[in-house]
């Protein structure tokens, strides 16, 4: 692998000695599991080790980055000086724990969520030392600026949104590609003026846009194929169940996917599977709590820093806590509401921002916000009021968001599936609803789990539960249909019909 890397001509920063380069590459290859030992899993990231032509970018990033390759790829930003200390530790025969001790001594284990975002996704900022020094305000400004510029560049490059744009620290790129250098800018309008001038002078788009004082943006043309080729999508709750199935199906149709879930390990495992199956740049994992505003904001920023834009939000994360009026506590009622209802609001609020920027530069381009609602959003659900209420509320949000966002080319629809009887919610042998309903005697006369299942299947005119494929088809319909917004579409085998 070392030979292969060298043969590919990895470009290193000029001030690295030959010894440094070799050492770096060796460690990069050898320390497959090292990262797990000392970086909190919150700092997971992917796709640092993209195939060429990104490799050049990676080498540039390496100046401020200490990279490790694991089963999934990880990266951690250090300043050049800090990186040198780590190299010295390695050179002197230090092990994982020596490195860990050093990192702890400079506060790496105490990074906030915001900083872990910067660690994720191989992005990003001009002065990483600022991040290390916890200059949160300044870091915020840079992230927000980068996130307002990348979607503009993406659409300026091609109005069908199929390219991806990746941000990384500012560097002198004049030698390595078609670079547009912007020396003075205040907002995305400046970028647009210079981008258009470059395009008309050269009759092609730049490959890199270097914004002095902020960072650089690398544009990659889409190489994906399929009905969603090149679309950038977030799937919340993507680590399991419907969300995982939706992510798999969309990746199979050529989309880039951000698997965003409270369960980072599950999201990472899912992203890894997708990258193995559909290529390295297919998926990234991001930890999110959809009911937490900062966390949702970070999720959207991570998406932009990784892929440069956003075309589809699938707001799927949801929870169900059933209970009669006498059993259901206020706390549980509020928990269901905050995840299912407020979470959908927050995700739409932040996801629509980059979409609006994309619309500014590609007014004909259509984007989608899709809520995975439920048949319980269309008719009441006995002793399940918190869930049904949150889902009915979701339909109200869908209609209202649709009205508000239509002028930005953003369609907003809800898909209302019937019961996913084969998913973990129902079929988990210990905690699934079949087991719970059997144990609580909810289904009269049922003696086995199969009896409970048969009872629920019998309620459906089509005599079966909903499948992920059914929902995936509905998602494709919503995206491809250009004349549908504000709808709540039942996918229930006829169990619930629109009035």
Ligand X SMILES: NC(=O)c1ccc[n+]([C@@H]2O[C@H](COP(=O)([O-])OP(=O)(O)OC[C@H]3O[C@@H](n4cnc5c(N)ncnc54)[C@H](O)[C@@H]3O)[C@@H](O)[C@H]2O)c1
240 touches ligand X by CB under 6 A: yes
102 touches ligand X by CB under 6 A: no
Of how many residues is the chain composed? Answer: 499
423 touches ligand X by CB under 6 A: yes
Rounded least distance, CB 452 to ligand X, Å: 14
**CB-based contact 354:405 (threshold 8 Å):** no
Query: How do beta strands 312-315 and 283-287 pair?
Result: unpaired
Identify which of residues 122 and 343 has a Cβ nearer to ligand X in the complex. 343
Rounded least distance, CB 336 to ligand X, Å: 9
Q: Contacts with ligand X: how many residues (CB under 6 A)?
A: 30
Q: Give residue 301's region: left, alpha or beta (phi > 0; psi -120 to 50).
A: alpha
Query: The tokens of 230 are what?
Result: 């090149």
Identify which of residues 220 and 236 has a Cβ nearer to ligand X in the complex. 236
25 touches ligand X by CB under 6 A: no
Which window, 70-78, 200-208, 224-232, 413-421, contacts ligand X (CB under 6 A)? 413-421
Please identify which residue in 78, 180, 425, 478 interacts with ligand X, judged by CB under 6 A: 425
Rounded least distance, CB 13 to ligand X, Å: 38
Rounded least distance, CB 412 to ligand X, Å: 16
Chain residues 277-306 in contact with ligand X, contact rule CB under 6 A: 288-291
215 touches ligand X by CB under 6 A: no
Please identify which residue in 164, 233, 275, 316 interacts with ligand X, judged by CB under 6 A: 316
Cα–Cα dist 425/355, whole Å: 33
Identify which of residues 237 and 393 has a Cβ nearer to ligand X in the complex. 237
Rounded least distance, CB 462 to ligand X, Å: 15
351 touches ligand X by CB under 6 A: no
Q: Which of 116, 77, 108, 21 is nearest to 215 (CA)?
A: 77
254 touches ligand X by CB under 6 A: no
Identify which of residues 65 and 492 has a Cβ nearer to ligand X in the complex. 492
171 touches ligand X by CB under 6 A: no
Rounded least distance, CB 59 to ligand X, Å: 35
Kindly write out the interface string for residues 361-400 of this chain, putting x where it contacts ligand X by CB under 6 A and - elsewhere. Answer: -----------x-x--------------------------
424 touches ligand X by CB under 6 A: yes
319 touches ligand X by CB under 6 A: yes
Which window, 99-107, 227-235, 256-264, 268-276, contacts ligand X (CB under 6 A)? 256-264
337 touches ligand X by CB under 6 A: no
490 touches ligand X by CB under 6 A: no
82 touches ligand X by CB under 6 A: no
User: What does the radius of gyration of the chain's CA atoms come to, in whole angstroms?
Assistant: 24
Is 198 an active-site residue?
A: no
Catalytic residue among 387, 437, 456, 483: 387
432 touches ligand X by CB under 6 A: no
470 touches ligand X by CB under 6 A: no
Which window, 87-95, 125-133, 313-321, 360-368, contacts ligand X (CB under 6 A)? 313-321
Question: Which residues are designated catalytic?
Answer: 387
Binding residues (CB under 6 A) for ligand X: these are: 236-237, 239-243, 261-263, 266, 288-291, 316-319, 339, 343, 372, 374, 417, 419-420, 423-426
């Amino acid at each position: 692998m070392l030979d292969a890397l060298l043969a590919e001509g990895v470009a290193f920063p000029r001030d690295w000695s030959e010894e440094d380069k070799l050492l770096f590459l060796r460690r990069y290859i050898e320390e497959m599991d090292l990262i797990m030992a000392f970086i909190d899993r919150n700092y997971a990231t992917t796709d640092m080790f993209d195939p060429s032509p990104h490799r050049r970018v990676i080498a540039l990033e390496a100046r401020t980055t200490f990279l490790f390759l694991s089963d999934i790829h990880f990266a951690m930003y250090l300043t050049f000086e800090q990186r040198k200390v780590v190299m010295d530790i390695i050179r002197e025969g230090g092990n994982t724990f020596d490195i860990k001790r050093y990192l702890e001594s400079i506060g790496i284990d105490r990074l906030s969520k915001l900083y872990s975002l910067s660690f994720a996704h191989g992005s990003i900022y001009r002065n990483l030392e600022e991040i290390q020094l916890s200059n949160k305000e300044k870091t915020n400004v840079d992230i927000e600026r980068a996130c307002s510029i990348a979607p503009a560049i993406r659409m300026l490059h091609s109005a069908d949104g199929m390219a991806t744009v990746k941000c990384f620290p500012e560097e002198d790129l004049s030698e390595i590609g078609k670079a547009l250098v912007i020396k003075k800018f205040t907002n995305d309008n400046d970028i647009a003026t210079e981008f258009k001038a470059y395009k008309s002078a050269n009759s092609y788009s730049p490959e890199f846009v270097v914004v002095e004082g902020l960072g650089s943006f690398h544009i990659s043309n889409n190489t994906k194929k399929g009905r969603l080729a090149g679309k950038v999508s977030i799937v919340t709750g993507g680590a399991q169940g419907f969300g995982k199935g939706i992510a798999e199906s969309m990746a199979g149709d050529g989309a880039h996917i951000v698997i965003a879930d409270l369960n980072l390990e599950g999201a990472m495992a899912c992203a890894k599977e997708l990258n193995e199956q559909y290529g390295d740049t297919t998926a990234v994992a991001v930890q999110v709590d959809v009911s937490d505003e900062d966390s949702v904001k970070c999720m959207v920023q991570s998406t932009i820093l990784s892929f440069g834009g956003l075309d589809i939000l699938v707001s799927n994360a949801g929870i169900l806590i059933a209970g009669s009026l006498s059993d259901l506590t206020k706390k549980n009622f509020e928990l269901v509401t905050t995840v299912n209802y407020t979470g959908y609001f927050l995700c739409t609020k932040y996801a629509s921002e980059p979409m609006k920027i994309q619309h500014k530069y590609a007014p004909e381009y259509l984007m989608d916000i899709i809520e995975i609602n439920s048949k319980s959003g269309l008719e009441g659900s006995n002793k399940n009021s918190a869930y049904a209420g949150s889902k009915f509320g979701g339909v109200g949000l869908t209609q209202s968001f649709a009205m508000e966002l239509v002028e930005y080319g953003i369609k907003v629809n809800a898909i209302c599936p019937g019961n996913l009887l084969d998913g973990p919610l129902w079929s988990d042998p210990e905690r699934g609803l079949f087991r719970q309903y059997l144990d609580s005697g909810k289904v009269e006369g049922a003696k086995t789990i199969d009896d409970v299942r048969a009872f629920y299947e019998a309620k459906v005119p089509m005599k079966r539960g909903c499948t992920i494929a059914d929902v995936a088809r509905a998602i494709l319909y919503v995206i491809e249909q250009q004349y549908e917004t504000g709808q709540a579409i039942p996918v229930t085998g006829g169990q619930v019909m629109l009035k």
